[in-house]
Structure formats: C-alpha cells, structure tokens
C-alpha cells in the first residue's frame, strides 16, 4: 500500500521522527481530555484526518464531537 499516493510530486513525505512527534502529540491530547479533565471526556470520532498540524507539526484536534462523562 502506498501511503504517499496523494502526495504532490514536488513534496517530500514526512520522516519517521515527524510522524512519531505527531502521534505522540495526538496521544497526549487524548490523555488530557480523557484523564485530566473533570468531568472526563471520551472522544467519539478520533481519526487521522481530524488532526490538523501547525507549522511545527504540532497536532490540533479539529473535531469536537465528544461524550462528556459525569463524575
């Protein structure tokens, strides 16, 4: 499977370290909303295309669908 099929010919794919930085940042965001907020929040629709990246490849979740659990 070619994961870079949609990549324009003049663009380079992300290196492994950048991909891991994005994954770790997204995981930290999920941990925060699930474990550190009160009441807890469960993200209902967490998918890769819901993650926006800023210039420094810091992930931002753009989908705000969440289930709030009462504590």
Strand partners, 60: 52
**From 35, 45, 54, 61, active-site residue:** 45
52: preceding bond cis by omega (within 30 degrees): no
Separation between Cα atoms, residue 71 and residue 69, nearest integer Å? 6
Separation between Cα atoms, residue 59 and residue 24, nearest integer Å? 9
Answer yes or no: 61 catalytic.
no
- Residues assigned a catalytic role: 45
């Amino acid at each position: 499977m070619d994961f870079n099929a949609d990549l324009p010919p003049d663009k380079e794919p992300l290196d492994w370290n950048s991909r891991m930085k994005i994954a770790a940042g997204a995981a930290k965001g999920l941990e925060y909303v699930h474990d550190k907020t009160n009441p807890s929040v469960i993200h209902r629709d967490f998918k890769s295309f819901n993650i926006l990246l800023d210039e420094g490849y810091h992930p931002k979740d753009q989908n705000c669908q969440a289930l709030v659990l009462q504590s």
